[in-house]
Structure 1
Amino acid sequence: MRRQLIQPYLLTLGVALSLSACFNEPNYSNTPEIDFRTLYHYPLPAQQGVGRGKRDSVVITIGFKDGDGNLGIKLPISKQDSTAFAQNGGWGNYDIKTFRLINRQYVEFPQQVNKFLTFPDLTPDKPRGPIEGTLDFNQTFQYGTSFQLYPTKFQIRIRDESLNVSNVIETDTISLPYPR
């Protein structure tokens, strides 16, 4: 009788140990690493009202890996975090630069909307550890009454709460409207 009780226990213990042995925690650097995934754009129909004209919506998806899982920022941004960002380049935890093709050369086209970008804490109320996933960034481009389409690409980098800066990635090229 005792042997019959022990066998299911040992079988359950064996399965549990083998399943837990199958998971090895990733060994990522504490400096974030990103890669380009997709660049998608779709037209938004014109509606009535100011700022409601025809426009294109652009969604950029990047992949990320981080060893200590401290990506994102607690919102609203504290004075301490705001000061740290200001003293270290003036950008938030997401940096995107827009480049458009002019005379066969890509030239940076600074956009006010991209000056200070943040994304929320990706692991709120969870213990720190390796994380990976994707981030989507969405931006719209107005057609306006007078516009020109330019081939456009983006350069992106992120940083974590410790101000460790990731590698820089570049997206594919897409044609977008700019005012003349």
Structure 2
Amino acid sequence: MSLDALTFRPATLADTDAVVALVESAYRGDSGRRGWTTESDLLDGRRTGADEIHAVLAKPQNMILLAELDDGSGPRLLACAHIAIEDGAGYFGMFSVDPGLQNGGIGKRVLAQAERVVREQWQTPTMRMTVINVREELIQYYVRRGYLRTGRFKPFPYGDARFGLPKRDDLSFEVLEKSL
């Protein structure tokens, strides 16, 4: 698959079901285990839902960035990420690449496009994200792409099923940051 034809666009409400399916496949259940981003060993339950997608799309300076490839039979959703402006910085989250296509360069392209939107369209010089503290391989992925470990942590929202059902009691979110 040639990534030269990869296109980006903001999601619309019509994309809700496809985005939920992609995110769930990347983070939960057996399909997520095919990729390296799965949280299946850490969390059960949902990763996102139509309610969350609708809420994101309704907020100003929030976008779900879609990465698609048209192989001649119409565009196919390969990846997505939620980007926003929060607390004076860009925010990057809900990053999902089709598990069968991970490690092929799509994620790097999505991250670069998200950074470009935050820097150029939203005129924001910093991107911030949170990563589950025990996901060291994922944290290192972002460190290799210029993100710094800030030493700041946010509590995991135990008891809020919208964020999943934790299988362990030592989860928190580590804050990573990059100057754009």
Query: TM-score band (shorter)?
Result: under 0.3
**For the pair shown, which has the larger CA radius of gyration, 1 or 2?**
1
The TM-score normalised by the length of structure 2 is 0.23
Bigger helix fraction: 2
Q: Relative contact order (alpha carbons < 8 A, sep ≥ 6): 1 or 2 greater?
A: 1
Bigger strand fraction: 1
The TM-score normalised by the length of structure 1 is 0.23
